[in-house]
Amino acid sequence: MSWIDDDPELGGEPRPYVPSTEPVVIRIQEVAKRFVLRHTRSMKEAFVWLIKGRKGDLSEKFNALDGVDLQIREGERVALLGLNGSGKSTLLKLISGVMHPDGGDIKTRGRIAGLIEVGAGFHPDLTGRDNVYLNGAILGMTKEEIDANFQSIVDFSEIEQFIDTEVKFYSSGMYLRLAFAVAVHTDPEIFLVDEILAVGDEPFQKKCIRKIKELSDRGKTLVVVSHDLDMVAKLCERGVVLERGRVVQDGDIRDAVTRLRG
Amino acid sequence: MTDISERAFQSPGRGRGLVDALKNRYLLRLLVDKDLQVRYRGSVLGILWSYVKPGVQFIVFYIALGVFLELNKGLENYAVYLFSGIILLNFFGEAFGNGARCMVGNGALIKKIYLPRELFSVSTIWVALVHFLPQLLVLLIACFVVGWHPGPMQLAAAVVGMMIMVIFSFGLGLIFGVANVFFRDAENIVDLLVMVATWLSPVMYPWERVAGAVPEWGLHLYLCNPITVAVELFHYAFWAPTTGMEWHVPPNLLTLWVPVAIVLALLFLFVGDLLFKKFEGSFAQEL
Ligand SMILES: Nc1ncnc2c1ncn2[C@@H]1O[C@H](COP(=O)(O)OP(=O)(O)OP(=O)(O)O)[C@@H](O)[C@H]1O
Ligand SMILES: [Mg+2]
Identify the pLDDT of residue A42.
Answer: 66
For residue A139, give the H/E element and its range.
Answer: none
A12–chain B nearest CA distance, Å: 31
Interchain pair B30, A117: CB under 8 A: no
Is residue A140 scored above 70 in pLDDT? yes
Identify the pLDDT of residue A53.
Answer: 66
Distance from the CA of A196 to the center of ligand 1, in angstroms? 16
| Span B67-126, pLDDT tens digits | 888 877 778 888 889 899 999 999 999 999 999 999 998 888 888 888 888 999 999 999
B73–chain A nearest CA distance, Å: 47
- Plot region of A240 (φ>0 → left; ψ -120 to 50 → alpha; else → beta): beta
Domain end point (choices A188, A218, A245)? A188
**Residue A36, number of CB atoms within 10 A of its CB:** 15
| Mean pLDDT over the full length of chain B | 88
Confidence of residue B1 (pLDDT cuts 50, 70, 90): very low
Q: Do residues A180 and A100 share a domain?
A: no
Q: Do residues A193 and A241 share a domain?
A: yes
- Plot region of B182 (φ>0 → left; ψ -120 to 50 → alpha; else → beta): alpha
Q: In this structure, are residues A118 and A208 in contact, taking their beta carbons and an 8 Å threshold? A: no
| Span B11-22, pLDDT tens digits | 887 767 777 777
Task: With respect to residue A252, please indicate whether it lies within any of the assigned structural domains.
Answer: yes
Interchain pair B12, A105: CB under 8 A: no
What's the CATH code of the domain at A42?
A: 3.40.50.300
Q: Which atom of ligand 1 is least distant from the CA of B285?
A: 1
Confidence of residue A5 (pLDDT cuts 50, 70, 90): low
The CB of A89 under 6 Å from ligand 1? The reply is: yes
Task: With respect to residue A18, please indicate whether it lies within any of the assigned structural domains.
Answer: no
Set of chain B residues whose Cβ sits within 8 Å of the Cβ of A109: 4, 7-10
Domain end point (choices A145, A168, A188)? A188
Is residue B274 scored above 60 in pLDDT? yes
Identify the pLDDT of residue B31.
Answer: 92
Is residue B260 scored above 90 in pLDDT? yes
Q: Do residues A130 and A223 share a domain?
A: no
Q: Do residues A96 and A5 share a domain?
A: yes
d(CA A56, CA A45): 13
Please give the residue range of the domain that contains residue A145: 121-188
Distance from the CA of A199 to the center of ligand 2, in angstroms? 14
Among protein residues, the one with the nearest Cα to ligand 1's atom 22 is A89
Identify the pLDDT of residue B22.
Answer: 79
The CB of A64 under 6 Å from ligand 1? The reply is: yes
Identify the pLDDT of residue A223.
Answer: 93
b vs e for A226-259, b when ≥16 Cβ sit within 10 Å of the residue's Cβ? bebbebbbbbbbbbbbbeebbbebbebbeebbee
- The residues with which A82 forms a beta bridge, in sequence order, are A242
Q: Do residues A102 and A152 share a domain?
A: no
The CB of A87 under 6 Å from ligand 1? The reply is: yes
Identify the pLDDT of residue A1.
Answer: 41
Interchain pair B185, A25: CB under 8 A: no
Closest partner residue to A125 (CB to CB) among B5, B38, B109 is B38
Q: Is A230 helix (H, G, I), strand (E, B) or coil?
A: helix
Task: With respect to residue A163, please indicate whether it lies within any of the assigned structural domains.
Answer: yes
d(CA B5, CA B48): 54
Q: Do residues A50 and A179 share a domain?
A: no
Q: Do residues A238 and A259 share a domain?
A: yes
Residue B284 contacts A where some CB pair is shorter than 8 Å: yes
Decide: residue B33, CB within 10 A, 0-12 exposed, 13-18 middle, 19+ buried: middle
| Span A167-223, pLDDT tens digits | 889 888 888 889 889 988 888 889 898 876 777 788 888 888 888 888 888 888 999
Q: Do residues A183 and A214 share a domain?
A: no
Q: Do residues A72 and A1 share a domain?
A: yes
Interchain pair A109, B8: CB under 8 A: yes
Task: With respect to residue A116, please indicate whether it lies within any of the assigned structural domains.
Answer: no
Identify the pLDDT of residue B11.
Answer: 82
Is residue A14 scored above 80 in pLDDT? no
Identify the pLDDT of residue B184.
Answer: 84
Amino acid at B7: R
Confidence of residue A235 (pLDDT cuts 50, 70, 90): confident
Interchain pair B13, A110: CB under 8 A: no
Q: Do residues A168 and A225 share a domain?
A: no
Is residue A81 scored above 70 in pLDDT? yes
Domain end point (choices A188, A216, A236)? A188
Decide: residue B21, CB within 10 A, 0-12 exposed, 13-18 middle, 19+ buried: buried
Nearest residue on chain A to B41, alpha-carbon basis: A125
| Span B225-245, pLDDT tens digits | 999 999 999 999 999 888 866
Identify the pLDDT of residue A56.
Answer: 59
Q: In this structure, are residues A95 and A26 in contact, taking their beta carbons and an 8 Å threshold? A: yes
Q: Do residues A85 and A212 share a domain?
A: yes
Amino acid at A187: D
Residues counted in chain B: 287
Interchain pair A142, B113: CB under 8 A: no
| Span B164-194, pLDDT tens digits | 999 999 999 999 999 999 888 888 899 899 9
Ligand nearest to the CA of A86: 1
| Span B139-168, pLDDT tens digits | 999 999 988 888 898 999 999 999 999 999
Distance from the CA of A11 to the center of ligand 2, in angstroms? 27
Task: With respect to residue A67, please indicate whether it lies within any of the assigned structural domains.
Answer: yes
Beta pairing, strands A103-108 & A24-36: antiparallel
Q: Do residues A33 and A97 share a domain?
A: yes
Is residue A10 scored above 70 in pLDDT? no
Structural domains of chain A, count: 2
Distance from the CA of A85 to the center of ligand 2, in angstroms? 7
Task: With respect to residue A144, please indicate whether it lies within any of the assigned structural domains.
Answer: yes
Task: With respect to residue A219, please indicate whether it lies within any of the assigned structural domains.
Answer: yes
Tell me which long-range contacts B213-216 makes (C-beta under 8 A, separation of at least 24): none
Task: With respect to residue A115, please indicate whether it lies within any of the assigned structural domains.
Answer: no
